[in-house]
Amino acid sequence: AQSVTQPDIHITVSEGASLELRCNYSYGATPYLFWYVQSPGQGLQLLLKYFSGDTLVQGIKGFEAEFKRSQSSFNLRKPSVHWSDAAEYFCAVGANAGNMLTFGGGTRLMVKP
Amino acid sequence: DAGVTQSPTHLIKTRGQHVTLRCSPISGHKSVSWYQQVLGQGPQFIFQYYEKEERGRGNFPDRFSARQFPNYSSELNVNALLLGDSALYLCASSQAVSSYNEQFFGPGTRLTVL
């Protein structure tokens, strides 16, 4: 069975600082990996996805993520955080057949002025 | 174009009651999925429907059921509500059921069971 672990429940960074959110997955085959963001009172918005090819993927809002098969990781990064980035971030893995997603527990990001 | 819409936004029920949640997908999308998000946790997959047929079911009891209509809208039904069913219920739509097809999520229905 597939699973996703996000080791950090809460992270606080200063505005303008760099950010890295960790994600580890367990999946028997080639994973389909996603990062979503959820702001209060809103649904999930897709930031980026990895299916194959270049292991560094670019997403919206200046985010990027790197797939490392040897470490079973798909960490999300941003070089300079803005106050509007404060939200909850979810890493997810999708099955080869069908697009049912398995989500991690989420990381809540707080941004200090 | 309108995104995924869900109704109602909030509702409060008591234990043992039944609830129906509704979802309208993005125009042209034929697949609808339902997820349960308990406070402080990530969403958990409940059901996926494509072209009115169930394509996937998560690890939820038989009290949970769903269906998809000819216009691709969907209902999630929960019988004999328990306190633990209190959660945000998210609906997502996509054009098809491959992982290549991005899922677009609605704002959710907040269910409180007292």
- Give chain B's radius of gyration (CA, Å): 13
Q: Which residues on A lie below 8 Å from B25 (Cβ)?
A: none
Residue A21, pLDDT score: 98
E strand intervals along chain B: 5-7, 10-13, 19-24, 31-37, 44-50, 53-57, 64-68, 74-78, 87-94, 104-105, 109-113
Mean of all residue pLDDT scores within chain B: 94
| Cβ <8 Å between A105 and B56 | no
Q: Which of residues 68-97 of A touch B (CB under 8 A)?
A: 90, 92, 94-97
DSSP state of A30: P
Inform me whether the C-beta atom of residue A104 falls under 8 Å from chain B C-beta atoms. Answer: yes
Q: Which residues on B lie below 8 Å from A44 (Cβ)?
A: 43, 90, 92, 105
Q: Which of residues 18-47 of B touch A (CB under 8 A)?
A: 31, 33, 35, 40-45
Q: Which residues on B lie below 8 Å from A104 (Cβ)?
A: 42
| Element holding A6 (H helix, E strand) | none
Compare CB distances from B90 to A44, A49, A98 and report the shortest one's residue: A44
Q: Which residues on A lie below 8 Å from B99 (Cβ)?
A: 32, 51, 94-96, 98-99
Of residues A63 and B98, the one with the higher pLDDT is: A63
Compare CB distances from B45 to A42, A100, A106 and report the shortest one's residue: A100
Residue of B56, B26, A44 lying closest to B64 (CA atoms): B56
pLDDT tens digits along A7-59: 999 999 999 999 999 999 998 777 889 999 999 877 899 999 998 888 999 99
Residue from B46, B99, B110 whose CB has the most chain A CBs within 10 Å, to mutate: B99
| Angstrom distance (rounded) from CA B64 to CA B5 | 20
Give the number of residues written for chain B: 114
Residue A40, pLDDT score: 83
CA-CA-CA-CA torsion sign (A47, A27, A51, B105): negative
| Residue A69 structure tokens | 């098969």
Confidence of residue B1 (pLDDT cuts 50, 70, 90): low
| Angstrom distance (rounded) from CA A93 to CA A103 | 7
